[in-house]
Structure 1
Amino acid sequence: MLNWTGKLIGAALGLYFGGPVGAALGILLGNAFDKTQARRAQGDIGGGSKGVLQTAFFQATFLVMGKVAKADGRVSEQEIEIARHVMARMGLSERQRLEAMSLFNEGKDPEFSIETVLTDLADVIGRRATLAQIFLEVQLQVAYSDGQLTVNERNVLQTISNYLGINRIQFEIIHQRIRAQMHFSEGQHQQQPRSSQSQLANAYQILGVSASSSDAELKKAYRRLMNQHHPDKLVAKGLPEEMMSIAKEKTQEIQTAYERVRKARKAA
């Protein structure tokens, strides 16, 4: 049954205060009110039901991933590979994998606009800032899959941040942490490992502290990051269960970086 409450009240108030023009404006505002109320009733707004949030997060992840991959004009093999890698880490069923690839391809379309997707995602995330940050981290990894961040890719990432309520300072902190994580991970798996000092610097950056930070500050930063990326807590907040493995990898990376710093400090 359609909800006409907002439109009727809006029209009445508009007509009373502004005549026919006011009535028309009142109907438009009332219509927006009705839509909002309908979505709220379905649990779509302000951090609605867990199932709605998980579905929205899953769909937005691959739609926006396609947009990020296409931002520089072409989709590289590395970007396609990391999209497949994310799907593999999520352990998707064949049906889910096909859906994810369909969403990814839809996002690549030059005519596709991510604004509506991000607006809807922001609505269901509500005040769950950690989920917004996790979403941005995944997209940053896609953008950096070819080893660099182009201007167009950065612009898309800034758009994501703006819609999800992540300010510029927070964006840069997350950006630097993800870049350091990628360099740190690459350094561990290379046949000719990066220099010890380079890896140590990356470890500090992952934790968001400097070499001059006290042991207490180091431990506090480590615990905060582990708490933010704890898989069970993220799933409880609405992260799709399929993405739990990705959250686990994040905590393992943070743990490894922390141990690297602690080892260096003990040796000193």
Structure 2
Amino acid sequence: MGWMGKLIGGAMGLAIGGPLGMIAGIAFGNLFDRANVYTTTQDHSIPFGTDSSMNTQQQSQMIFFVGAFSMLARMATVDGRLLPEEQKKVEEFISQDLKLDPQSRQAALRVFNAALTGGGTFDQFATQFYQNFAHEPAILELMIDILVRVAAADGSINQDEDRLITVAAKIFRIQDSLLASIKRRYGTIAASPSKAYAVLGLQSNASVDEIKRAYRKLSREFHPDSIASKGLPEEFTTFAAEKFRVIQEAYDTIKKERNIV
């Protein structure tokens, strides 16, 4: 979690601004005394509270990290209260899907808990997230995938959760067909003839050329190295790698079924 450790002493809330900056400030603001605490980088002592070394990628990483757990907090409390089963779904996502180390797990829960009591709406969080990743459709799709995955962890998506996911998809400019294919991956709507086609965002009658184009596009966009270069925090690389593996397996399944060479 090196990137977070580097930023934790900076004025991260001020750096990213907006409602997500406010949540970051609530989550991490009490971890340091800006006037007295220092961190050492190579041979230089840098006062915590200065973020001059914060580059664009680090800012994007922070927005993704804070945005993801802030939106999950709003989804978990969409009916006005946090139920134990909703808390459990988020904690299982953190430990089982993301496989976060203890420090990253603590940071994720700090953001989640800060968003439970802090200001800002789901729509505002999603809008700021979109503004940062508007030109990175793979990152936006990955965030929708996370929301659907967590919502469906108990076997179904309730009406309120589905409403928020739809709101996020509209803000992110995600097409209805793509949202439907993401839901099919997790079995939350009627199953398609083949889950493999849904993973590639296709219907089972897609042509061979369409299948190849979809596979090339997705494998390029969701390659872990490509995703990481666009601002994905290192804590989410395991999740991205799993999505990339599913894309590969789906294409292999279709190739065998259709005798594609």
Class of the TM-score when normalised by the shorter of the 2 chains: 0.5 to 0.7
Per-residue Cα deviation, 1:122-150 (whole angstroms, up to 9, x for no partner): 33224222212211111111121222222
Displacement of 1:84 in angstroms is: 2.8
User: Which residue number in structure 2 is paired with residue 99 of structure 1?
Assistant: 107
User: Which residue number in structure 2 is paired with residue 10 of structure 1?
Assistant: none
Aligned counterparts of 2:136 and 2:181: Cα–Cα separation in 1: 20
Per-residue Cα deviation, 1:150-172 (whole angstroms, up to 9, x for no partner): 221122123323433x15xx1x2
User: Which residue number in structure 2 is paired with residue 116 of structure 1?
Assistant: 124
Matches within 5 A, 1:119-158: 119-158=127-166
Aligned counterparts of 2:134 and 2:180: Cα–Cα separation in 1: 25
Alignment check: 8 A CA contact 1:57 1:240 kept = yes
Displacement of 1:232 in angstroms is: 0.7
Alignment check: 8 A CA contact 1:231 1:247 kept = yes
Per-residue Cα deviation, 1:183-214 (whole angstroms, up to 9, x for no partner): 49xxxxxxxxxxxxx78522222222223222
Aligned residues: 208
User: Which residue number in structure 1 is paired with residue 40 of structure 2?
Assistant: none
Aligned counterparts of 2:105 and 2:140: Cα–Cα separation in 1: 23
Displacement of 1:78 in angstroms is: 6.6
* Partner-residue secondary structure (3-state), 1:239: coil
Alignment check: 8 A CA contact 1:68 1:142 kept = no
User: Which residue number in structure 1 is paired with residue 77 of structure 2?
Assistant: 70
Aligned counterparts of 1:78 and 1:260: Cα–Cα separation in 2: 34
Q: Which blocks of at least 5 consecutive residues in structure 1 are unaligned?
A: 1-34, 185-197
Matching of residue 225 in structure 1 with residue 233 in structure 2: no
User: Which residue number in structure 2 is paired with residue 195 of structure 1?
Assistant: none
Matching of residue 49 in structure 1 with residue 56 in structure 2: yes
User: Which residue number in structure 2 is paired with residue 191 of structure 1?
Assistant: none
User: Which residue number in structure 1 is paired with residue 256 of structure 2?
Assistant: 263
Alignment check: 8 A CA contact 1:140 1:175 kept = no
User: Which residue number in structure 1 is paired with residue 235 of structure 2?
Assistant: 242
Aligned counterparts of 1:76 and 1:54: Cα–Cα separation in 2: 29
Relative to its length, the structure with more helix (as a share) is 1
User: Which residue number in structure 2 is paired with residue 8 of structure 1?
Assistant: none
* Partner-residue secondary structure (3-state), 1:57: helix
TM-score by length of 1: 0.66
Per-residue Cα deviation, 1:81-110 (whole angstroms, up to 9, x for no partner): 454333444343323211211222344459
Per-residue Cα deviation, 1:195-245 (whole angstroms, up to 9, x for no partner): xxx785222222222232222221111111212211111111111122111
User: Which residue number in structure 1 is paired with residue 181 of structure 2?
Assistant: 177
Q: Rg larger in 1 or in 2?
A: 1
Aligned counterparts of 2:178 and 2:150: Cα–Cα separation in 1: 14
The CA RMSD over aligned residues, in Å, is: 3.2
The one-letter code of the counterpart of 1:225 is L
Aligned counterparts of 1:209 and 1:126: Cα–Cα separation in 2: 23
Structure 1's 126 and 220: CA in aligned 2 closer, same or farther, altered over 3 A?
A: closer
Aligned counterparts of 1:200 and 1:132: Cα–Cα separation in 2: 26
Displacement of 1:74 in angstroms is: 5.0
User: Which residue number in structure 2 is paired with residue 203 of structure 1?
Assistant: 196
Alignment check: 8 A CA contact 1:65 1:139 kept = yes
Which range is displaced more, 117-126 or 229-238? 117-126
Alignment check: 8 A CA contact 2:73 2:116 kept = yes
Displacement of 1:121 in angstroms is: 2.2
User: Which residue number in structure 1 is paired with residue 39 of structure 2?
Assistant: none
Q: Which blocks of at least 5 consecutive residues in structure 2 are unaligned?
A: 1-16, 22-50
Amino-acid identity (%) = 24
TM-score by length of 2: 0.68
Aligned counterparts of 2:124 and 2:184: Cα–Cα separation in 1: 31
